[in-house]
Amino acid sequence: MTAVANGRQSSARGVGFGADTILGILLVSPILLTMTALVFYPMGRTIWDSLHRVNPMQAGTPFVGLDNYVRMFSDGQLGATWTNTLIYVVLAVAAETIFGVLAAALINQVKIGRRWILAAVILPWALPGVVNSVIWLWIYQPGAGLLNGILSAIGLPFENHVWFNDRASAIVAVTVVHVWRMMPLTIVIVLAAMQSIPSHLYEAARIDGATRGQMFGLITLPLVRSAIAVSMTNATVNAFNLFDEAWVLAGSSLETRPILVQIYLETFQNLRFSYGMALSVSITFVSLLVSLVYVLRVYRNTRFD
């Protein structure tokens, strides 16, 4: 201890070892306090309470073991919402990745005004999710909505089509809003990776007579693969967290209800607190697991190349 203290420069002005330690603890104490009270403790509480029966309408909180988890398997509504969430995840991640990478490649080609194009593209992400959702609610509106307006303007019989009448189109409609909001993240991440590719690689390829398509497939894509994996992880977590779009566009409709809306309904309408917590624990687990799969796959792929 003293050796360390002597080794460092200590002075009377409070720069020494002891002073640094005290100051350090002082400076991080707000973080420690906030995170303990509002994140760490509630997190432990979620796991602990998910093993009990917690319901404000019933007295006592008896220990029920894994009952809350076992109940999930016989919960028909839950099965439907899990299916919906998985469909959202697959559709959203695929659309955001494919169109996001294409969009990033397009923006990467632009030399002038790229800053402004990027600002325009990021804008949907920065807006409140519910406001995006009411905007699209208006676009999807059967009578005077923009979507049906465009479709009938080009001669298709969609004037009074109701997009939320059947499950498939309702789910796609919710996904489109989510993709509109989240794709900018993919574009920003992938574009940054594309801009860090040294230009001499492209020059060498051009001298060898490669076409644009070949350059994209053989230079750009392999070099932005880890950025794509990062953006896919983000996209997955965000799609698992889908709430605002489904809630505003279709309310509690079971056909489009994602798992998060189910948690909200079970907890704050049916007041089954501990069941809601068990659901939260399991979806956290699944979303972490899926993200982990991407990360591992990318690492293995890059190693074997």
Partner 1 sequence: MKTNFFTRLLLWTGLGLLLVWSLGPIYWTLASSVTPTEDFSTRPIHFYPQHFTFDHYARVLGISISRIGGVEVWKQFRAALFNSVVTSVAATVLCVAISALGAYAFTRLRFPGRQMLFGLVVATLAIPAYAVLIPLYQIMIKMHLVDTYVGVALIYVSAYLPLSLWLLRSVFEALPVSLEEAAQLDGAGRLFIFFNIVLPLAGPGLAAAGILTFLGAWGQYLVPLIFSPQVTKPLTVLIPEFVTKNFIDYGLITASGSIAIIIPALVVIFLNRYLVSGLLAGSVK
Which backbone phi and psi does 63 adopt, to 5 degrees? Answer: -70, 130
Q: How far apart are CA 170 and CA 163, in angstroms?
A: 6
Q: Which is nearer to partner 1, 69 or 243 (CB)?
A: 243
Residue from 66, 90, 98, 127 binding partner 1 (CB under 8 A) = 127
- 162 near partner 1, rule: CB under 8 A: no
Residue list 175-194, contact with partner 1 (CB under 8 A): 180, 184-185, 188-189, 192
How many chain residues are in contact with partner 1, going by CB under 8 A? Answer: 102
Structure-block tokens of residue 208: 């060898």
Which backbone phi and psi does 129 adopt, to 5 degrees? Answer: -55, -40
Residue from 64, 72, 118, 210 binding partner 1 (CB under 8 A) = 118
Could you tell me the smallest distance in angstroms from the CB atom of residue 161 to partner 1?
14
Residue from 90, 98, 130, 218 binding partner 1 (CB under 8 A) = 130
Q: Are 112 and 251 in contact (CB under 8 A)?
A: no
Residue list 263-282, contact with partner 1 (CB under 8 A): 263-264, 267-268, 273, 276-277, 280-281
Residue from 89, 103, 232, 250 binding partner 1 (CB under 8 A) = 103
Q: Are 247 and 259 in contact (CB under 8 A)?
A: no
What's the Cα-to-Cα distance from 89 to each of 77, 92, 293, rounded to whole Å? 18, 5, 14
Cα 64-69-75 angle, rounded to 5 deg: 115
Task: Tell me the angle at which helices 76-109 and 273-304 cross, rounded to the nearest 10 degrees.
Answer: 40
The dihedral over CA atoms of 150, 155, 160, 162, expressed in degrees to the nearest 10, equals -70
Among candidates 111, 12, 50, 102, which has minimal Cα distance to 284? Answer: 50
Could you tell me the smallest distance in angstroms from the CB atom of residue 49 to partner 1?
7
Output the DSSP codes for 116-147: HHHHHHHHHHHS-HHHHHHHHHHHH-TTT-HH
The owner of tokens 């909505």 is 145
- 244 near partner 1, rule: CB under 8 A: yes
- 158 near partner 1, rule: CB under 8 A: no
Residue from 123, 156, 293, 296 binding partner 1 (CB under 8 A) = 123
Residue list 2-61, contact with partner 1 (CB under 8 A): 9, 11, 13-15, 17, 19-25, 27-28, 30-32, 34-35, 37-43, 45-46, 49
- 204 near partner 1, rule: CB under 8 A: no
Could you tell me the smallest distance in angstroms from the CB atom of residue 168 to partner 1?
22
- 229 near partner 1, rule: CB under 8 A: no
Q: Are 160 and 143 in contact (CB under 8 A)?
A: yes
Q: Which is nearer to partner 1, 135 or 254 (CB)?
A: 135
- 142 near partner 1, rule: CB under 8 A: no
- 200 near partner 1, rule: CB under 8 A: no
- 156 near partner 1, rule: CB under 8 A: no
The owner of tokens 């794709």 is 183
- 196 near partner 1, rule: CB under 8 A: no
